[in-house]
């Protein structure tokens, strides 16, 4: 059987765009897989919101992200990319993050060039480290991969928002030269910029499509034609879930029954009750070999 990193490598070799809904817990990851998607991404924004009820401003820790990642990766058989933020420290911390994410079951880990504590790429107040530190982070991540850690490296720059498109492209080019497997320039402001990024930075590219964010949301065919191989939707699922929960809460508060919810049979199926019952029945029947063992 292929490892999760090898599954991701195979997907990235295909000449098509992979739409990648982002998960935030084991249930959302399982629903993504059940819907037929071949890859997911653990969103730091969404995990911070769902796990600790806090904004994506560097408040959630490495240990909390790693624990969430273990549960996510254990719940599905599709490759998952993990948000490794800044690597949680210096180059040695980056290596530890990469190695930890690989052991947790991730197919790839994203390392970015923001100053700690980092924040969501489409919000105010972010800053990036200088080139030397940014390159050192990616080099440490690539070294960990090259020295026996089976995981892909997704290198991200947020320099477009802080230092302009030219600086972001220069950093992306350096990340590619350093050996990153996937390149991600955050927050391009137009389809022209997106096209320029793919044209001037060699390698596999990921687009980050956030509803209401800075980057235009384009159809898959247009993204593929530009040169993108992955299209992440980081907040679609958690936003949809929060909207439905708010509607249900408002209904209950007003004395009404909640509408537009899963029926109980579908809910049981989605979380795995049917599969559990099938497995339970397998052992409830007993085992024909038991009598033979008693004779020994």
Instruction: Decide if pLDDT at 45 tops 60.
Output: yes
All structural domains of the chain: 4-236 (3.20.20.60), 244-286 (no CATH)
Evaluate whether 97 touches 109 at the Cβ level (below 8 Å).
yes
157-198 pLDDT tens trace:
999 999 999 999 999 999 999 999 999 999 999 999 999 999
- Distance (Å, whole) CA 133 – CA 5: 26
- Put simply, whether the predicted model's pTM sits higher than 0.95 gets the answer no
Other Cβ atoms less than 10 A from the Cβ of 163: the count is: 16
Instruction: Decide if pLDDT at 296 tops 80.
Output: no
**CA distances (Å), origin 26, targets 67, 87, 99, 121:** 11, 23, 21, 24
DSSP state of 110: E
Q: Are strands 18-23 and 152-157 parallel, antiparallel or unpaired?
A: unpaired
pLDDT above 70 covers a percentage of the chain that reads 94
Q: HSE on the CB side for 280, CA within 13 Å?
A: 6
Q: What is the pLDDT of residue 183?
A: 98
3-state helix, strand, coil in the chain (%, to 5): 50, 15, 35
Instruction: Decide if pLDDT at 121 tops 60.
Output: no
267-289 pLDDT tens trace:
999 999 999 999 888 888 666 66
Q: What is the pLDDT of residue 282?
A: 84
pLDDT above 90 covers a percentage of the chain that reads 88
Q: What is the pLDDT of residue 245?
A: 97
Query: Who contacts 223 (Cβ-Cβ below 8 Å, separation ≥6)?
Result: 17, 194, 207, 231
């Amino acid at each position: 059987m292929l490892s999760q990193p090898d599954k991701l490598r195979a997907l990235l070799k295909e000449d098509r765009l992979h739409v990648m809904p982002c998960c935030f817990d084991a249930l959302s990851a399982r629903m993504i897989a059940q819907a037929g998607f071949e890859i997911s991404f653990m969103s730091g924004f969404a995990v911070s919101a769902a796990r600790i009820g806090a904004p994506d401003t560097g408040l959630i820790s490495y240990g909390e992200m790693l624990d969430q990642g273990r549960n996510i990766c254990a719940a599905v058989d599709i490759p998952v990319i993990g948000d490794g933020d800044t690597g949680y420290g210096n180059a040695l911390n980056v290596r530890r993050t990469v190695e930890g994410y690989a052991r947790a079951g991730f197919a790839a880990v994203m390392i970015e060039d923001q100053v700690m504590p980092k924040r969501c790429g489409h919000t105010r107040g972010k800053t990036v480290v200088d080139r030397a530190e940014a390159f050192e982070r990616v080099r440490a991540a690539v070294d960990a991969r090259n020295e026996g850690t089976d995981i892909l490296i997704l290198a991200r720059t947020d320099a477009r928002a802080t230092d302009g498109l030219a600086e972001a492209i220069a950093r992306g080019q350096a990340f590619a030269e350093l050996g990153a497997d996937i390149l991600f320039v955050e927050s391009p402001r137009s389809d022209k910029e997106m096209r320029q990024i793919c044209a001037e930075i060699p390698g596999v590219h990921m687009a980050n499509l956030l509803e209401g964010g800075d980057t235009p949301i384009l159809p898959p065919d247009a993204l593929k034609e530009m040169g993108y191989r992955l299209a992440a939707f980081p907040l679609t699922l958690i936003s949809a879930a929060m909207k439905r929960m708010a509607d249900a809460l408002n209904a209950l508060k007003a004395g009404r029954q909640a509408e537009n919810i899963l029926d109980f049979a579908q809910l049981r199926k989605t979380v795995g009750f049917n599969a559990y019952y099938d497995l339970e029945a397998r052992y409830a029947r007993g085992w024909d070999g038991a009598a033979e063992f008693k004779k020994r």
